Amino acid sequence: MRTFTLLLLGFIAITAVRAEENTMTLRFTANHTCTYIQLDSVLVENLTREGSRALYYPDTVLTIVPTFIDQLDEAYDGLYVSQNYPNPFSAVTDIDIYVPDPDLFRINVHDMSGRLLVVHDAKLEQGMHHFTFHACNQQSYLLTVNSGKYSQRRIMIQSGRGGRSTSRIEYNGMSRSGRTGQAESAPTIKATLKSSPGFDYEPGDELRFTGYVTSPFSYEIDYGVITDTPETDTDYLFDLADSAPDRPSDISGPETVMKYSGNLGYEIESSPGLTYNWSVPEGWSIAAGQGTNAVTVDSGAESGNIEVRAVNNCGEGPPSILHVTILHTLTLQASPPGTGTVTGAG
């Protein structure tokens, strides 16, 4: 038993290193208006092979194990045991086994200490058979598939903790033709593998990522798209609405006022998620509303411009400008004696 354990640990160590070398991790985050925002989901599409995978919050990390589908032709000359998918996995993972000839097979699962966790005996016909492995609380497993003529091994790595005290293997049937009901041929199974939800990937494939968020201001769905051909672990940032705001709408309010007038109202259209920075001519003052889309102003003695700029986390946009003219009142001496008032712009 001790010898078996040492051999098993050595095999796991070597295989784990190889799996580590072949595994690629893609991490996704998002900014909206230059501030971190939670991603609702990410759609990952393989444009080369037409497969796809959806990620949902809070798990926006994709670990890819290259499937090397184009190398499977040789495998169909004998027993083929797929790498479990997903891998690493959490609690549950799937395995596909192609059997070249009908035979009695034994499927064993050991933990890293060499302890036998699962024994599953089955007589399997020629074709592709589908299994689900339900993990216990161990993190690494050795899967072996044996018959009188064939033997295959796979390392399965659990990223979390399984919720079961014991492990088990569940048989899900075999791939069959929808027209004849017969077991599918090797070429047909290969085509099925390429389009399966296991998300097949080989180095050099072009991937497209679409990240979806809910706008914190309008509560509408916004999205960004990134296309890449990743070769190593990569962090991707969906940078949405990443610019300062546009110019606000035209300012509405009195354009001709008396000097030192109070409670003058000026307003623009409001947009979600924006604050507004107002400025008034020298000698004027903003009595209320700075930061909002409507202000109350007290005029001064001189004409000038009222300006407003929209502001978000990315910066301040261009201004909307309204020129306001001060009306001056002049008192004149009349002849014959009397008084008169003349009003004019100045």
- Kind of pairing between the strands at 140-146 and 85-90: unpaired
Q: For residues 185 and 131, which has the higher predicted lDDT (pLDDT)?
A: 131
pLDDT tier, 18 (very low <50, low <70, confident <90, very high otherwise): very low
Mean pLDDT of 277-294: 98
pLDDT score of 283: 96
Mean pLDDT of 54-78: 65
Say whether pLDDT at 210 is over 70. yes
Mean pLDDT of 220-239: 94
Say whether pLDDT at 182 is over 70. no
> What percent of the chain shows pLDDT beyond 70?
76
pLDDT score of 187: 45
Mean pLDDT of 156-182: 71
* Cα distance between residue 65 and residue 129, in whole Å: 21
> What percent of the chain shows pLDDT beyond 90?
49
Say whether pLDDT at 85 is over 50. yes
* Cα distance between residue 69 and residue 72, in whole Å: 5
Per-domain boundaries in the chain: 22-68+195-242, 77-177, 256-327
pLDDT score of 305: 98
Q: With respect to CATH, is domain 22-68+195-242 assigned 2.60.40?
A: yes
pLDDT score of 276: 98
Mean pLDDT of 102-114: 91
Mean pLDDT of 316-323: 97
Torsions phi, psi of 100, nearest 5?
-75, -30
Query: What's the farthest any 2 CA atoms get from each other in the chain?
Result: 132
Q: For residues 300 and 177, which has the higher predicted lDDT (pLDDT)?
A: 300
- Kind of pairing between the strands at 221-228 and 234-240: unpaired
pLDDT score of 331: 61
For 21-37, how does the pLDDT look when each residue is reduced to its tens digit (9 = 90+)?
A: 457 889 999 999 999 99
The domain defined by 256-327 folds into Immunoglobulin-like (2.60.40)
As a whole number, the mean pLDDT across the chain is 82
The domain defined by 77-177 folds into Immunoglobulin-like (2.60.40)
Tell me whether domains 22-68+195-242 and 256-327 share a fold. yes
Query: What's the full length of the chain, in residues?
Result: 346
